Amino acid sequence: MDELDSEIIRLLQTDARQSNRELARKLGIAPSTCLERVRALTRRGVIRGYHADIDPAALNRGVQALVSVQVRPLSRTVIDTFKESAGALPEVLSVFVLAGGDDFLLHVAVQDLDHLHAFLLDRLSKRREIAGFRTSVIFQQEHTIAPSRLPDPSPAGEPPASTN
């Protein structure tokens, strides 16, 4: 990753629908160079895809919450099963598997607080593997963009490994 790659990522995160020609113009490089850089970032797995940013409120899902979940017994089968079933629930936007005190973090979006309450009581509390959960309602969400310059992955003070 160099500064040009970092700038490509920043610009695409701002607007992934811009054309290659527009992206190249903003970067001050040839469109062919820009296209090859974007393709290389995609091949390396840095760019995993493109998506539409949807406003949940526009879909009548204006209340969002983060639900921390603990499951028992803690086993691969229980974790995999819960991850799949939680991800299939229409209220769940994202499922995060965690280390630490909580096993999962669910990002949910629902119509209103009554629907959030119903989700917690009717969908989560009835599951046998759930040992407990805590809910935090989201008041505001700010979308962030990756830093324009990513940190060097080598430990501080160590020169990069030689390729000789």
Could you tell me the CATH number of the domain that includes residue 78?
3.30.70.920
DSSP string across 51-62? -----GGGGT--
What is the predicted pLDDT for the residue at 144?
72
Q: Which segments of 51-127 are extended strands (E)?
A: 63-71, 92-97, 104-110
Q: What is the pTM of this model?
A: 0.76
The domain tally of the chain equals 2
CATH classification at residue 11: 1.10.10.10
Integer CA distances (angstroms), 158 to 7, 149, 164, in order: 26, 19, 17
% of the chain beyond a pLDDT of 70: 88
Same domain, residue pair 94 and 125:
yes
Report the 10 Å Cβ neighbour count for 103: 23
- Pair (30, 98) in one structural domain: no
Does one domain contain both 69 and 131? yes
14 and 72 belong to one structural domain: no
d(CA 140, CA 56) in angstroms, rounded, equals 12
Same domain, 84 and 127: yes
Q: What is the pLDDT of residues 44-96, one digit of tens each?
A: 999 999 988 888 999 999 999 999 999 999 999 999 999 999 999 999 999 99
The reply to whether 62 and 125 lie within a common domain is yes
CA atoms within 13 A on the CB side of 44: 9
- Which tokens hold the place of 49? 């895809």
- Could you tell me if 111 and 84 lie in one domain? yes
Is residue 48 a part of any domain in this protein?
Answer: no
Least confident of 34-38, 54-58, 156-160: 156-160
In a domain, 148, yes or no: no
